[in-house]
Amino acid sequence: MSKRKAMYVFRGSPPRGDRGWIAQVPGKPARFFADARFGREDAFNKARKYAKRLTNRTRVNPETGRYLHKKPSSGVFRFVHLNKRGKPAVWIAVACIEPGKVKRRQFYVRTHGEKEAERLARQARAEMVKLILGNQTS
């Protein structure tokens, strides 16, 4: 069996008690590969191939194995402090560049104007997505 970590493949068992490998890709149907049916190593290989087939390879960074779950347009939103008078509205771009580290960029409506602040936030989010996916050639 490969010592290499497999994306979306977990060791587990369904309610009936068989042991095996579960291939579970977000937004796709999970599938169980039983040790009793395939053997432990073959079950792992089949689960890994199934998970690999289900993932959209354009959304996975091959070096880190990180999968971008959301559309590039998400992660951009408008925020206004309701409890603090005088705080300006901002457009914020958010992404998790490294596991556990969230990166935010803020663009103030007062400084840039509404449309320009939104455009800058969407542009910043697109750059963050490129970093996540490893497509740094632009």
Name every residue whose Cβ is closer than 8 Å to that of residue 131 and which is 6 or more positions away in sequence: 95, 97
Instruction: Clarify whether residues 46 and 93 are in a common domain.
Output: no
Instruction: Clarify whether residues 83 and 126 are in a common domain.
Output: yes
CA distance linking residue 41 with residue 6, whole number of Å: 13
Query: Around Cβ 69, how many Cβ atoms within 10 Å?
Result: 10
Instruction: Clarify whether residues 20 and 50 are in a common domain.
Output: yes
Residue 99 lies in a domain: yes
Average pLDDT over residues 112-124: 92
Instruction: Clarify whether residues 14 and 47 are in a common domain.
Output: yes
Residue 62 lies in a domain: no
How high is the pLDDT of residue 61?
62
Q: Residue 120 pLDDT more than 90?
A: yes
How high is the pLDDT of residue 43?
92
Query: At 15, which amino acid appears?
Result: P
Instruction: Measure the N-to-C terminal CA separation of the chain; round to a whole number of Å.
Output: 39
Average pLDDT over residues 120-136: 81
CA distance linking residue 133 with residue 75, whole number of Å: 15
Mean pLDDT for the chain overall: 79
Instruction: Clarify whether residues 51 and 80 are in a common domain.
Output: no
Instruction: Clarify whether residues 80 and 129 are in a common domain.
Output: yes
Residue 94 lies in a domain: yes
**Which of 11-20, 53-62, 90-99, 111-120 shows the lowest mean pLDDT across its residues?**
53-62
Instruction: Clarify whether residues 50 and 94 are in a common domain.
Output: no
How high is the pLDDT of residue 12?
84
Residue 68 lies in a domain: no
How high is the pLDDT of residue 62?
59
Query: Around Cβ 65, how many Cβ atoms within 10 Å?
Result: 13
3: which 2 tokens?
Answer: 């010592």
0.85 cut: is pTM over it? no
How high is the pLDDT of residue 136?
44
Instruction: Clarify whether residues 84 and 45 are in a common domain.
Output: no
CA distance linking residue 100 with residue 14, whole number of Å: 30
Q: What is the pLDDT of residues 35-87, one digit of tens each?
A: 988 999 999 999 988 888 877 666 666 566 666 655 545 788 888 877 667 67
Residue 1 lies in a domain: no
* Sole residue written with tokens 């880190």: 64
Residue 30 lies in a domain: yes
- Note down the domain range covering 34: 9-55
Q: Residue 3 pLDDT more than 50?
A: no
Query: At 73, which amino acid appears?
Result: S
Residue 66 lies in a domain: no
The number of folded domains in the chain is: 2
